[in-house]
Amino acid sequence: MSNHFVSLKAFLRDDDGVTAIEYGLIAALIAVVIIASVQIVGTNLSSIFSMIASELS
């Protein structure tokens, strides 16, 4: 029984999994920011090109 308790204490003290989860959350947040930025820039660029095309016509 004490072997299980020692194993449980060692598992709870292990921080490797927590670090991996934190890095995963940071990467996901960066991806969301990049996707939002690309969508905003794409919308603005589309309107600029439409304006240029209408001026050239």
pLDDT band at 12 (very low <50, low <70, confident <90, very high): confident
Q: Domain total for the chain?
A: 1
The answer to the question of residue 35 being in a domain is yes
> Using a CB cutoff of 8 Å and minimum separation of 24, what contacts does 34-41 make?
none
| pLDDT at res. 33 | 97
Residue 21 domain-assigned (yes or no): yes
Query: What is the pLDDT at residue 37?
Result: 95
**What tens digit of pLDDT does each residue of 24-51 get?**
999 999 999 999 999 999 989 999 999 9
Domain contains 49: yes
In the block, tokens 């920011």 appear at 33
* DSSP reduced 3-state for 1: coil
Residues of the domain holding 34: 15-56
3-state SS class at 17: helix
The owner of tokens 């240029």 is 52
1 pLDDT band (50/70/90 cuts)? low
Task: Work out the average pLDDT over 7-22.
Answer: 78
d(CA 16, CA 44) in angstroms, rounded, equals 43
pTM: 0.58
| CA dihedral sign of residues 43, 44, 47, 49 | negative
